[in-house]
Amino acid sequence: MKQQLWLTIITWLIYCIDQELYRAIDYLKEQVRVLIEQQDKQKKRILLTNRQRLRVAAKAKRLSRDMLDKTTVLFTPDTVIGWYRKLIAQKYDGSINRRNVGRPQISKEIITLVIQFKKQNQRWGYQKITDQLIYLGYHISKSAVKNILIENGFDPEPDLTVRSTWHEFIQSHLDVLAACDFFTVELLVNRTLVRCTVFFVIELASRKVFFAPIKPEPDGNYMSQIARILTDCEDGFLKGKRYLIHDRDPLYNTDGFTDILKDTGIKPLKLPAQSPDLNAYAERFVKSVKTECLDHLILSSVDQLEYVLEQYSQYYHHERIHQSLGRIIEPKYKIDCNAEIRCIERLGGLLKSYHRLAA
């Protein structure tokens, strides 16, 4: 009797509690519906952060599927369950430790180097370019280099039909090459113009210039004497040189001149007719000495001409900045970066240079 009474009381309490719980749930659901209606009027979606989704999914996990269907208003039960499964998947996701799949991307630096090597060395094929890159510390296969060349419009195979140009020949032999030439100067002697011939030799690598002793009308004996001066064993200007470029002037054909050069191991290179471009270094020096100096002077004797050429030689070697070299050939003055700038004048100010001279 007592057990039935207690069972009846407990059942009635559970019923009362369930009724109160259901009424609370209905009240909360109604508030959510009002919130949804307000959101619909503003035409905004309800967006949750990952933290908020975690909280909702953790609470939803405690409910049965039937209770979840009855209590979920803002989102469908499948959506909430999907969040929960996604959180589980993220916990065991190891993709951040996984390496990138597929072939690695080739850096732009390597592509630039491959194109640069091919442009500067047309006789190189993709195999030689690959070897050069590996030597420089880059990791790349020869097939990748081949594809880069093809994609940029280059033939990956070496171009064996390319011939050496005169410029390439000069650049590869600068240290053993010298060039010579004549130029003329008109002297005003006793109201008469007298043509005087000047012979010079220029080193192609250093741009140093040697002026031979001046003779108004050079001949074969003069050329032989000049050859002996140039090939002197101790301080000859052509010491260490292998080739001497010259034009087709008849003075070079004298036996004394060519024989002396050949006996000292220097081979004269006679240029084709009407090809001054092949002796460009010497021709450019003639323009420099005339436009910078001789065209602005009236000279009346060989002595004056020798003095002017000596002054220009000092200026040319020790004070003038050469654009092709980007520097002075042989700086003569000690430079102090904090010193005052001074102007050095030659030939009455015709030749000027500026330096920060040390005190």
Give dist(CA 117, CA 149) in Å, integer.
10
pLDDT digits (tens, 9 = 90+) for 316-338: 999 898 888 888 888 887 777 78
The answer to whether residues 276 and 285 touch, using CB atoms and an 8 Å cutoff, is no
Cα-based angle 48, 54, 58 (whole degrees, multiple of 5): 130
Q: What is the pTM of this model?
A: 0.59
Q: Which of 44, 61, 90 is the last residue of a domain?
A: 90
**C-beta neighbour count of 203 within 10 angstroms:** 21
The mean-pLDDT minimum among 46-50, 128-132, 148-152, 154-158 falls in 46-50
Give dist(CA 283, CA 286) in Å, integer.
5
Indicate whether 99 belongs to any domain.
no
> Quick one: 65 and 205 in the same domain?
no
> Quick one: 238 and 295 in the same domain?
yes
**C-beta neighbour count of 282 within 10 angstroms:** 23
> Quick one: 138 and 266 in the same domain?
no
Indicate whether 160 belongs to any domain.
no
**C-beta neighbour count of 293 within 10 angstroms:** 19
> Quick one: 261 and 181 in the same domain?
yes
Residue type, 180: C
Indicate whether 327 belongs to any domain.
yes
CA atoms within 13 A on the CB side of 187: 18
Q: Is the pLDDT of residue 281 over 60?
A: yes
The mean-pLDDT minimum among 164-178, 302-316, 330-344 falls in 164-178
> Quick one: 114 and 205 in the same domain?
no
N-terminal to C-terminal alpha carbon distance within the chain: 127
The answer to whether residues 179 and 245 touch, using CB atoms and an 8 Å cutoff, is yes
| CATH label of the domain that carries residue 257 | 3.30.420.10
The answer to whether residues 323 and 316 touch, using CB atoms and an 8 Å cutoff, is no
Please count the structural domains in the chain.
3
Q: Which of 60, 90, 120 is the last residue of a domain?
A: 90
Name the phi and psi angles at 354, rounded to 5.
-125, 135
Indicate whether 123 belongs to any domain.
yes
Range of the domain at 114: 108-151
Nearest to 347 by CA among 319, 326, 328: 319
pLDDT digits (tens, 9 = 90+) for 182-223: 999 999 988 889 899 999 999 988 899 999 999 888 888 999
Indicate whether 103 belongs to any domain.
no
Indicate whether 100 belongs to any domain.
no
> Quick one: 185 and 331 in the same domain?
yes
H runs (alpha helix) in 234-301:
255-263, 280-292
The answer to whether residues 156 and 125 touch, using CB atoms and an 8 Å cutoff, is yes
Give dist(CA 275, CA 269) in Å, integer.
13
Give the model's pLDDT for residue 33: 62
> Quick one: 223 and 346 in the same domain?
yes
